[in-house]
Every structure is written in C-alpha cells, then in structure tokens.
Structure 1
Amino acid sequence: MANAAKVSISSLPLPPRAHTLTKNLTPDPLTPSPALFRNTQRDKPSVQRRARLLDSGAHFSFVSPFPAPFPYKIIPPEGEEPVDQAAFIEQWLASKEPLEERSEGKAAEDAPLRKYYPDPDAVGERPVQLLGLAETGLRDCLPRLDVGDAFALLGTPSLLPSSQEEVAKADPENAARQDLLDILSGSAMLANYEDDPDKAWAPWSLRYSGHQFGVWAGQLGDGRAISLLATPHPSDPELTYEIQLKGAGRTPFSRTADGLAVVRSSIREFLCAEAMNALGVASTRSLSLIALPSVPVLRERIESASIVARLAPSFIRIGNFESLNPPEGMTFIGGGGQQGANYEALRELGEWVGRRVLRLPVNWEAGDAWGKELVMESARRNAKMVAGWQVYGFMHGVINTDNVSILGLTIDYGPYAFMDVFNNYHVCNHSDSEGRYMYQAQPSVVLYALRALLSALAPLIGAEVAQGNKAVGPGWAASASSDQLAEWSTAGRESVLRELEDLFQDVCAAEYRALMHKRLGLRREDAQDEAALARPLLDLMADHRLDFHSTFRRLAYFRPALVGAGEDAALAEFVRSILDLTPEPQMVDMQKAAVDITAWLKTYAARIEDERAEWEAEGDVDAARESAMRAANPRFVLRQWVLEEVIKKVEDDHDSGKRILAKVLQMACHPFEAWGAEDDTTPKDSLDAEILEERRYCSIGEKSMLGFQCSCSS
C-alpha cells in the first residue's frame, strides 16, 4: 500500500466507516445525512449560512464551501421586487450551490466521490490563483496525491523578484492540477449523495464552544473551516488525514463574521505550520494557499480573500467537549449562546476520540474506563507541544480552549510570533491587553485548557469510577438526578485533577530539559543543568537584550578551549561576537555584559568538558558538538519582519511574490541549513545575489519590527 499509485484529489480513497467522523458522530438534525443535505442545498441553503445554535446533541453540520463576500448582496432584478423575500433569498443562495455534477472519464467513475459545481452564470467569474503548495505537507500526509503540474506553475523558489525566469503556463489538459485548484479553492465540492451510508459523503464543520481570554464564550465552532474529506495514509491505514479549508465561507458557526480569510493571515498560517513541524513541534500541516483576487474582504481595510488547505489526523479541540457539558449556569450568554449539556453526545464524542483519534491503549471490548485516560493522554501531548513552544520561543497569541487541540497539535495560527530579543513577558497579540497569553504564561494557560477538558468529562469519569472503572454505556446519564450528576462531577475532578497537573508539569519539564539540552549541545542530562546553565543563559539574554535564536546558533561555534590559559583574547573575541547579536547596543552596558557572558561561558565550558568522554567516539569532539548544535538551533527563523515583507511582496505582485513565498517556505522547512553561506568569509560583493538575500532573511531585521504585535483580525 505504501507504493500506491498517485491519484487526483477527487480520487483519493476514503477511510472505512469505522474511521470516519461523520459516520460515527451525530450530525445537525437540519442536515442529517449527505442525501438529505442535498435537499437543504436545493430548498433551504440558508441553513448553512445562518448563525444558529445547533441541537445540543449535534457534533457537526454538513456544509458546502461558499467563498463569497458577506453581507451577501441579494438584489432582485430591476422592477421585480419579490413578494416573498425569504423565498427569494433561498432561491438566490440555492443558485450558487454546487449542485451540478461534472465528473467525467473512467477515473471519475471509479472514484468514491463526485465533483459538483455551482451554475457559472449564477456565480459569475471567480478567478483563483495558486500561491503556494507545501511539498513537505504533501510528502508526509498525502504522499499519493497527484498535483499535476502545480509546482511547475509556481516556478523556481527564489528571493529575487526581478528574476526573468519563464514560469510554466497552465496546461488546460492537466486534470490532476485542475482538480486540485477547483476543490481547494472552494470552487467545486466533493460529495456522494447515495443513500448507502458506507458511500455517502459531504463536507462538514464542527461544533465546539470555549473560553476566550478566560471568559466563557459559548458556542463557537468552525466559523470559517470546512473539512472536505479524509483519507488513510498509505503506510498506516489506521492513520487518517483530514483536508480542511480555512476561509471557504460562512457556516452555521460564523456568527456575525464572513467566514473568509485574507492573504496576509493565510500566508502566516501556511508558512508557520510547516515551520513548526520542521522544528519538531507538533502542528497541523499545510497543503496549499490559493488566492481569490475577485472576492473582497473587509477587515481594517478592504483586502482580497484566500484559502489555506490544512491537514491533520483530526481537528477536534478541547472546546468540542466543552460544548457538550458547558460550565454550570452558562447556557444563556451573549454572542452565539450555548445549549445545555448533552451527556450522551459527550460519551459518543469521547469514545470516538479515544478509539480513533488518540487510539488509547484501553481494552474497549472488555468495557474498561477511558475518560481519565483521554484527559491524561491529551495532557501528555499538549505538555510536549508547549514545551517545544518555550524552547523555540514560539508564542501562539490566542490559547483559548477552543484553540487547543485534543491531539496536542499547534493549531489556528493567528497573531503568533517567534521571540526576537528574549523577554519572558513578551505579549505578541496586541489584543491581549492583560498579557494572559504572554510567553512565560503559555504552559499555565495550556494547563488551564486541560482543566476545562477535565471539567467537561468529569461527570462521565465520576460515573466510571462509581461502577468500578468500567466504561459507561448508552443512556448512562438519562435517569441521573442533578444531585447524582454533581456528585459524579466532583468525584471525577477530584480523582484526576492532581494527577493531571503533576503529569502535565512533569512531562512539560522533561521535554523542555531534553530539548534545551539539544540546543546547548549536551548529551547528558544533569539535575543542575537548568539552574546552572539554561536559566542563567536566558537571564543573560533578557538582561543584555540578546537575540534569542542567534545567540543559541552562535554557541554552536564555542570551543571550551577558549577559556584555557593564554586564551583571554580569543575568549574576548567570542564574547564580542555574541554581543554583536544585540539589535539595540545603545541600550546595553557592554562592559557588564561582557563580564556576565564570560562568566557564563566558563561554566558552560566546564560542563562541556565534563562529558567530553561521551563524545569521543565521534572523533573530533568540538566538530561533532558543533554539528549537533547546528541541527538543533535554526539559522532561519520565521520572524515578524520576514512575514510582513513576504506578505507585502505577495500582495503587491502574486506572480513574483509566489516564488519568494516558495523560497521562504523552503527555508522554513529546512531551518537548520546554513542559508546565506553562513560560514563563508567571501566578501559580500563577491557573493551571489540570492545568497545575499538568504543572509538578509536570516538576520534580526529592522529595529522597528522587534517585538511587533499582530492582531486577531484575519
């Protein structure tokens, strides 16, 4: 199966029924099946576009992509004012639904899904332009997907917009690439409207709730995310990847928003998901970035729309569980509101996540309890994730409970940033006025989200404990009184909370230590290393305004012999090379900084020498340690100034910008390489122009961009 032939996106195989979310969880009663969803598309399509509370037992709603400006301009023909305005609105929306099948050829006949398009006369011309395709996301998640000539259309990655390279012209006969663009731009929809439940299929959006900035926000849901399909990974049929569009139009969860995304925010997510994966931090993945230049989007200014296609084994979040058992007394709030608890839907979701998403090592056939294990496994994964954030200076910006993946994946890239000058208290989101999500607080707020997961599952866990650690069955809470449910909730929380907190802190600390040792080029973990080396180094960076990533990268070239007798001048020179990494030398007491850094380097040298024997099999110990450190400390970092520059170049000129975007993606996917001929001492005026641009993109950048804050608006 690992060598399966490549197929176009419309011919990707579907997972077996037991592995399919929409065949195991409960749909919105207004879109109860793909076959009946088609009736909705024809007769009452506003069901998909009208913000509403879903039934308390629903996990998702079927929905079709509709990347159109909102509010919709529903204008009757001149002189034909409709008698029934509501009916006219439904007719207007229905005319733009993808209801026309255009699946052709033998391959289409054998494919599990059919392609459906809206009436072109009703939709009008809606050009799409491929801006980016993630080779690494494709390779890792969808290795059998045929993208046709898509990479050729993007051209050779280059940071030089002035290149006159002839970019390949689209071949109208390239069906695989056209399939890709049609489906991933929301121009067409993949579906199967058969009554056979094993074959039926339609796209969907998930219902979830959550705490935003620590305040209960009620039902949220996939307001602009639509999962198109899921397909098994060819090397592991148990592992399924979902393809999800972000920015494909309104869903029942959009509230007052338009369901769209803009080019700048889409570029940020497209690049960073792959960058995080390259750093070894768990993340959703990127597949494509497509511009819709004719679709205007109102943010702080009028911008154009774009869609990111992203990938993950599952997009389920902690908020999915909160929606099924909200905090007591929180069913009526502002915004979208919130349905009351539905304990049966909670059980269904938990069993699905435990069996197929987290694949918990539980004896399901024996009916063993799974509630506690689900919480603990999610805690393990999220602890490792946030430890990676801290080690690599990543700040998410909006760690609401609905933005925390049950799988421990970094998800929903909004106002994120990577650290420049080290500052424990840096806040990367200018909407976070209280600093709730500052860098230092990230582990605590992820733990806050995990406590919310425990609270949602607490009555179920308590019921499992009460019946001898056996799983609850269907209807488990139907006859339970409010007092009984409260008792189970208390017992569930009390039986897990302390263990959850201890496990999270232990796993997070262990992962942080292990990764920090790699960044410092140490093989043995000594108990005193964090107190003697790691924390003092970060304090040095903060006190003397050193760049976080450049300082770590520079330490790869440190030799412990520099602190030996007669090496004072060489050590002083190395210290100066570190101080050169501060972007604000005028704000640093250079003399004190040199003294402090020298003292730390002496401690570091002694620690390196103490484990020299463990490196001797490598031959040249210093060279081996340098190589190991360069493989753990990125040369290229997706800094804010880089993102802003790439965004501007793409917005100004898609044709040249997409080649720059491709090169930055390439650098982000291989961050440890010596971009810009890092160690080359050739004079600058003798270096190739592309190499010089690589070097610039690896720099700290303009001072005005240090600590740049983004907004949540995207």
Structure 2
Amino acid sequence: MAAHKYSISALPLPPASHQLIKNLTPDAQTPSVAAFRNEVLPKNPSLQRRARIIAPQSHFSFVSPFPSPFPYDIRPPHEEEENDDNVNKAAVIEQWLAAREAVHPKPEAGSTGGLKMYEPQVRNERRELLGVSETGLRDCYPQLDVGDAFAVVGTPSLAVDAQEEAREPAGEDVITTRQELIDVLAGHAVLGNEDFAPWSMRYSGHQFGSWAGQLGDGRAISIHAVPHPNDPETTYEMQLKGAGRTPFSRSADGLAVVRSSIREYLASEAMQALGIATTRSLSLVSVPSIPVQRERIERACILTRMAPSFIRIGNFEALNPPMGNMMFFGGGQQRTDWEALRILGEWVQKRVLRLGVADGEAWGEELVFESARRNARMVAGWQAYGFMHGVINTDNVSILGLTIDYGPYAFMDVYDSAHICNHTDDGGRYAYKFQPNMIIYALRSLLNSLAPLIGAEKKLGGKAVSSGWAADASDEQIKKWKASGLELQSGLERVMQEECATEYGKLMRKRLGLRRTDPSDEATLTHSLLALMEDHGFDFHLTFRALCDFTTELAPPSEGESSSELTAFIDSRLLPLTPEPERLDRTSAQRDWAAWLAKYAARVRGEGTEWAGADRAAAMRSANPRFVLRQWVLEELIQRVEADEVNGRRALAKAMQMCCSPFQRWGAEGEERELNAEEAEERRFCGMGPRRMLGFQCSCSS
C-alpha cells in the first residue's frame, strides 16, 4: 500500500519514457499538447467533436472530455441572427463549443506539483457519485485519496428497508478532495498542464467478420497515467467511458448510460475476483440532466476504468489494413503506414507487454506469440466460468489479453454450449462454444498486420527493423516479407490452442477439486459433466457449487452400483438445480448423475484419502462462486438505481462487494435458520432468479 495519499490532481505522472503520448504519434490536427491547448481548444474545438479520418501516421488524438447532449443544440448568440444567411455558422459553432470547454484553471487544484485542473464556465451539470470500487482502487491506485467518497455512496445493503448508518460530518479538506475527484471522473473538470493532456486512440477492426475501417475510441478518453507505487514500471491508465464525442465517434454521441455503465462497472471486478484477466473499474458518476437516446431516453453515466494499456489488436490493423483502402458503411480507412506500425510495435513490446527483448533484437514474432498466450489464458477463463463476451470483434481484443469492452455479455445460467448472449448476433458467430475460435481469428488479424515486419526481421537475421525500414521497399518485397511472416500462422494457432487447453484443464480441475493432472480428465469428467448438465437442463454454476458438498463416502466403491445415500444426495442437491423441474426426466437424470458421480468419486479417491474430505471441499468452495453476476441481478440493480439513486447505489455497493468476494458463503449458505432481511436478499441474489430471465439476451448498446 502506498505510504502517501494524493488527491486526483496531485497524482504523479510517470516518466516521459513510460507515457504513451510521449512515445506514439499524435493526430496531425493536434500535433502537441501546446497546440491542442493553445490553438484547438480556444479557436477550433470542433476538431475534437467532428468525426474524421485522421492522418495515416497517427496513433491517437488529443481530446478533452465533453459530456453533453448530442446533437448539440447550437444557436447564434442573438435570436435575430438565427435565420440570417450572413451569419458565419462555422464561427458560431466554434464559439459555442469553446465557451463550454474546460479551459479555465482552478487555482487551488494541483498545488502540490501535480496536474492543473481546468473547468468550463458554461457547462455545470449535476454530478452524482453512484459507486467507487474498493478493490479497483486498492489494486490500481492505492495512492489515490478519494476523500469521503465511500461514505457518500452509503452503507452497502440489498435490503430495501435497511437503515442507513449515521455518518460523522466530514472535514472541509475531505469534502474538497471527494468533490474534485467527482468533477474529474464526471468529465466536468480536466487534468493537464503544458506537457500533458487527455487522449483517445485510433484503431480499426473486423466487426462480425467484416472489415469496418477506422473505428477508434468513440466514447473513451484516457485522462491520466499513473505509476503504481509498488511497481513503478507498471503504469495504469485512467480512462473515462461515456465522456462525450471524439474524432472516432462517427455518428454516435460518445455518451454512455446508467444501464451499460453499471454492467461494465460490476463485471470488471467480478472477472478479476474469478482470476480472469480484465480491465478494472474505479467509479460510476451519473450526470442525470444529460439525456441519451438509446432504445429509449436514458440518463448519462460515466464509467472510469483502468488498465496498464487499452491497446487492442485493432490498433495494429489500423496501420496495415487488409486489402488496401477498403470502405465500409460510409467510414473510411487510411493507407498503410509502415513506420507507424514499427513505432507502435516497439512501444507495445517494450512498455506494454514488457517482453525483455534486447535493444536491436527482433521483437515482432515474440509480440504476436505473447499476445496469443495471454489471450489464450483469458478465453480459457471465459470458458471455465461460463462467461460470454458477446462481441469479440478484433477491436475488442486486448493486446494484453484483458477482457475489455463489456457490452452484451452474460454469465451462463442453464448450461448451453451454443448459447448466444447478444441478440444482434443472428448467426451465432460469438456463441459461447465459438469464443476460442474467435480469439484465434483476432490473432490471425494481428499476425496479418505485423507479417511484413516479421518477415523483414527474419531477413535481417533476427535483428529489429529500424526507422524507415520499408520506405524504399517495392510492393513485391513487401509481399515476400508478408509471406515469410505468415509462415508463423500454424505455429501461432497451435500455441494458442495448447495454452488455452492447458489453462482450461487447470481451471476445471480446480473447480472439481482435483490436485494432480490426468490427461483423461477432460473426456471422462469435464466433458461428460457438461454434457449431463446440457442434456438435463441443470444450472452451470449452482451445479459446481453443489458438488463442493459431495463426499466419496456417498458413492459405492464399484462403478455401476448405487446407494441410498448417493440417491438422497442426487435427489436433494442436484435434481433441484433446474429451473424447469416439470420437464426433467428424473429417472434418466438420476441414472446419469449416479454414473458420473461414481467416476468422479474414483478419481477423487486417487488424490489420496486425506484430500477426500474437508480440505477438498474448502478448496472447491474457493474455486466455485456462490454469487454469480447473472443477467437478472444486473437488471434488478439497474432498475433500483434508475428509480432511486440514493438507495440504489447502496444496493450497487453491496453487489460490488459480492462480485469481489464471489466465493463467500453469502446468505448464510448451508445454515438452516431464520435469516435477517439482508441475509435473505443475499440468498436470493445467489439463486437462479426469475425463469423469464434465464438466458436473457442483451443488445450491443448494453
């Protein structure tokens, strides 16, 4: 834990060598912090808000947060000028935007040597803190002082009538620190100085298998980068999602809503608790006066998320797109820029993946393979814990192998290997069982982008390409380099598949309470268990949790035999784990369970008699969540917050606690006694929920 706490404006920046904006190439329209702050913001702010194709060599654009209803309602300053054709409408737009930019320094902020805080004079929407993630704060920004933010959120509670604990009045300094935090995380105030400004990244990608051209951070703006106090080599970016339009927004508003923000806020920390690589959550701030049009009019909400890097495979695709200058839906794509590709790759291998490659040595091949290994472990975690992403487009696949961009995601209810959680995925491209294949597809796209560079490094005998490496290369030479680089494809796929299988096997053995590796486990235990669940319609997570209480004494020593104790366990603990008991063929299910449990008991006995009892049960409870962030839980929490922010955020805080400690025995699990109101709600939140919500599908706007 950091010894010293800083307000958000006083957080120290990393050295220049660790800052993305000092090592990658900015948009030609915002070529430097000075030009951005002194020219764009006061004179031509529409450059930040106007969708455009930025220069081929550019990796990012400087952009400041600007949460505001869109389309903007811009009118001349005098009513009589509204229909006057002589009015310079372009100038009116620039003046209107400039008046609302956060360009006015707040004198008291950043006085300890940190960044300055800039505020707008015209915009001043109400900003309500909905949540702060204790685990995200602890892991990523332990040095950040949040003032009395947790007290403002309130005592975590699911019980509707639970009394709020009285709060001690906070001191003025504590309140100021908290308000400064909210102002920045709401996109109202902006941190910066003459050498630092927020930014949004340019990337492209394949969406549902089709090339989509330039995409980019259309509603994400990175506002800070801070070295971790316990590991200065690791820098965490702080990014606002839903803070307004950027040059990459296309026709969208750049905003997010309460619904989608809650979903990502909770899921990021839930995935972290399950041990699956992910971006992290810091806060939720509602801006209720800003209307946002989705399927209905909703309230704006801004999520602050954190990661060592938000760079995706699509960042590489933007610099060497497939098939030349393709166009998609009225968007566009720049020409290939080989030098920009080299610059990005060197930054990623050195500062993001931290490959440890010696200066001057080839890095392209290792970058691709390391990203493959990380993404393989990530998707293995998805499969082992029944997580479905919903939109595994190449622009949604992290170079670091982090789960990123939570949209229409879902955790499995009744096990269905073909389940599609995204109702806009008509063809089932991103169905649960196809997720590893979709990661392979993304990795092929990464290799395709870097193949010419990898081929050039092979030609150089394992040395890194240098500045201007492809400037004089002919098209024929580029094709030869690319063909040489693409020779890695089969090896890349093999590494991904092997890493994924190894990690998946490890996780499933952990879920089943097995310590030693047995190559036959997947066929004899894992696959047959999943098939049993699917055939009879059993709940995925509740089944694993129930198996924590199975003991080998319940099963006869010989396969094919049964016992009254085993039958009782099946009847009381396993058969109820279907949401549709009236459709269950009990005789068939009992027979299948008895056969599988006999094999399982034999395998557990092989682990040693000392492992067959309480130790194994405890290990299994630490690997099989009691609480799962199901769709019905999310929908109920969203409705609570939308109906009553004060009490809703207390429920949200309790749900976050449960997400971060999913293995805890919530709701007095296993205890047969009268529960208090809070325990009863915890127990309900750990159940299957309403039948109508099982397998609930979301849209991409989620």
What range is the shorter-chain TM-score in?
over 0.9
How many Å separate the matches in 1 of 2:201 and 2:36?
16
Match of 1:90 among 94, 99, 104: 94
* Residues 153 and 170 in structure 1, CA contact (< 8 A), matched pair in contact too: no
Measure how far apart 1:331 and its partner are. 3.4
* Residues 324 and 336 in structure 2, CA contact (< 8 A), matched pair in contact too: no
Measure how far apart 1:567 and its partner are. 7.2
- Which consecutive unaligned segments of at least 5 residues does structure 1 have? 194-199
How many Å separate the matches in 1 of 2:450 and 2:583?
51
Match of 2:660 among 660, 669, 689: 669
In structure 2, the partner of 1:635 is 626
In structure 2, the partner of 1:417 is 410
* Residues 224 and 251 in structure 1, CA contact (< 8 A), matched pair in contact too: yes
Instruction: Give the letter aligned to residue 183 of structure 1.
Output: V
Match of 1:437 among 430, 436, 447: 430
Instruction: Give the letter aligned to residue 517 of structure 2.
Output: E
Helix, strand or coil: the match of 2:223? strand
| Structure-2 change in CA distance of 1:170 and 1:186 (3 Å) | farther
Deviations 1:121-177 (A, max 9, x none): x22x40010000000000000000000000011111000122232564776642211
Helix, strand or coil: the match of 1:332? coil
Measure how far apart 1:91 and its partner are. 0.3
How many Å separate the matches in 1 of 2:227 and 2:406?
25
In structure 2, the partner of 1:690 is 678
In structure 1, the partner of 2:639 is 648
How many Å separate the matches in 1 of 2:278 and 2:247?
26
CA RMSD after TM alignment: 1.3
Q: What does residue range 59-74 of structure 1 map to in structure 2 within 5 Å? A: 59-74=59-74
Match of 1:363 among 355, 358, 362: 358
Instruction: Give the letter aligned to residue 285 of structure 2.
Output: I
* Residues 51 and 247 in structure 2, CA contact (< 8 A), matched pair in contact too: yes
* Residues 675 and 695 in structure 1, CA contact (< 8 A), matched pair in contact too: yes
In structure 1, the partner of 2:499 is 507
Q: What does residue range 364-403 of structure 1 map to in structure 2 within 5 Å? A: 364=359, 367-403=360-396
Instruction: Give the letter aligned to residue 156 of structure 1.
Output: T
Helix, strand or coil: the match of 1:130? strand
In structure 2, the partner of 1:13 is 12
Match of 1:551 among 538, 543, 546: 543
* Residues 460 and 489 in structure 1, CA contact (< 8 A), matched pair in contact too: yes
In structure 2, the partner of 1:197 is none
Indicate yes or no: 2:260 matched with 1:260: no
* Residues 331 and 340 in structure 1, CA contact (< 8 A), matched pair in contact too: no
How many Å separate the matches in 1 of 2:568 and 2:666?
24
* Residues 10 and 111 in structure 2, CA contact (< 8 A), matched pair in contact too: no
How many Å separate the matches in 1 of 2:80 and 2:172?
41
Instruction: Give the letter aligned to residue 236 of structure 1.
Output: D
Helix, strand or coil: the match of 1:110? coil
In structure 2, the partner of 1:699 is 687
Helix, strand or coil: the match of 2:299? strand
How many Å separate the matches in 2 of 1:68 and 1:3?
36
How many Å separate the matches in 2 of 1:109 and 1:458?
48
Instruction: Give the letter aligned to residue 377 of structure 1.
Output: E
In structure 2, the partner of 1:603 is 599
Instruction: Give the letter aligned to residue 668 of structure 1.
Output: C
Match of 1:534 among 522, 526, 540: 526
In structure 1, the partner of 2:205 is 210
Instruction: Give the letter aligned to residue 528 of structure 2.
Output: P
Helix, strand or coil: the match of 1:445? helix
* Residues 240 and 303 in structure 2, CA contact (< 8 A), matched pair in contact too: yes
Helix, strand or coil: the match of 2:81? coil
| Structure-2 change in CA distance of 1:508 and 1:564 (3 Å) | same
Deviations 1:609-660 (A, max 9, x none): 11115x45xxxx4000000000000000000000000000000000000000
* Residues 154 and 167 in structure 1, CA contact (< 8 A), matched pair in contact too: no
- Which consecutive unaligned segments of at least 5 residues does structure 2 have? none
In structure 2, the partner of 1:230 is 225
| Structure-2 change in CA distance of 1:260 and 1:171 (3 Å) | farther
In structure 2, the partner of 1:196 is none
Measure how far apart 1:558 and its partner are. 0.4
Measure how far apart 1:188 and its partner are. 0.3
Measure how far apart 1:334 and its partner are. 2.5
| Structure-2 change in CA distance of 1:600 and 1:166 (3 Å) | closer
Instruction: Give the letter aligned to residue 45 of structure 2.
Output: P
How many Å separate the matches in 2 of 1:290 and 1:3?
25
Instruction: Give the letter aligned to residue 88 of structure 1.
Output: V
Q: What does residue range 456-495 of structure 1 map to in structure 2 within 5 Å? A: 456-494=449-487
Measure how far apart 1:573 and its partner are. 1.0
Match of 2:114 among 103, 112, 115: 112
Deviations 1:343-385 (A, max 9, x none): 0000000000000000002112xx1100000000000000000
How many Å separate the matches in 2 of 1:460 and 1:84?
49
Deviations 1:459-516 (A, max 9, x none): 000000111011000000000011111111111011x111101100000000000000
In structure 1, the partner of 2:75 is 75
* Residues 155 and 167 in structure 1, CA contact (< 8 A), matched pair in contact too: no
* Residues 388 and 409 in structure 2, CA contact (< 8 A), matched pair in contact too: yes
Helix, strand or coil: the match of 1:601? helix
Helix, strand or coil: the match of 2:350? helix
Indicate yes or no: 2:41 matched with 1:41: yes
How many Å separate the matches in 2 of 1:100 and 1:559?
67
Deviations 1:572-628 (A, max 9, x none): 011112011111112221110110010000000001011115x45xxxx40000000
Measure how far apart 1:80 and its partner are. 2.8
How many Å separate the matches in 2 of 1:109 and 1:74?
36
Match of 1:221 among 216, 223, 246: 216
How many Å separate the matches in 2 of 1:361 and 1:703?
51
* Range with greater deviation from structure 2 (333-342 or 638-647): 333-342
How many Å separate the matches in 1 of 2:19 and 2:280?
20
Deviations 1:430-463 (A, max 9, x none): 0000000000000000110000000000000000
How many Å separate the matches in 2 of 1:575 and 1:166?
44
* Residues 14 and 227 in structure 2, CA contact (< 8 A), matched pair in contact too: yes
Identity of aligned residues (%): 61
Instruction: Give the letter aligned to residue 110 of structure 1.
Output: T
| Structure-2 change in CA distance of 1:302 and 1:167 (3 Å) | farther
| Structure-2 change in CA distance of 1:330 and 1:170 (3 Å) | farther
Where has structure 1 moved over 4 Å in runs of 4 or more?
166-173
Instruction: Give the letter aligned to residue 334 of structure 2.
Output: Q
Helix, strand or coil: the match of 1:95? helix
How many Å separate the matches in 2 of 1:20 and 1:329?
31
Measure how far apart 1:34 and its partner are. 1.0
How many Å separate the matches in 2 of 1:166 and 1:126?
29
In structure 2, the partner of 1:626 is 617
In structure 2, the partner of 1:181 is 182
How many Å separate the matches in 1 of 2:539 and 2:107?
54
Measure how far apart 1:112 and its partner are. 2.8
How many Å separate the matches in 1 of 2:506 and 2:224?
37
| Structure-2 change in CA distance of 1:202 and 1:92 (3 Å) | same
Instruction: Give the letter aligned to residue 99 of structure 1.
Output: V
How many Å separate the matches in 1 of 2:382 and 2:423?
19
Measure how far apart 1:415 and its partner are. 0.2
Instruction: Give the letter aligned to residue 688 of structure 1.
Output: N
In structure 2, the partner of 1:575 is 570
In structure 2, the partner of 1:587 is 583
**TM-score (ref. length: structure 1):** 0.95
How many Å separate the matches in 1 of 2:667 and 2:163?
22
How many Å separate the matches in 2 of 1:585 and 1:156?
38
Indicate yes or no: 2:249 matched with 1:282: no
Helix, strand or coil: the match of 1:363? coil
Count of residue pairs brought into register by the alignment: 691
**TM-score (ref. length: structure 2):** 0.97
How many Å separate the matches in 2 of 1:635 and 1:406?
31
Helix, strand or coil: the match of 1:415? coil
How many Å separate the matches in 2 of 1:448 and 1:95?
46
* Residues 128 and 185 in structure 1, CA contact (< 8 A), matched pair in contact too: yes
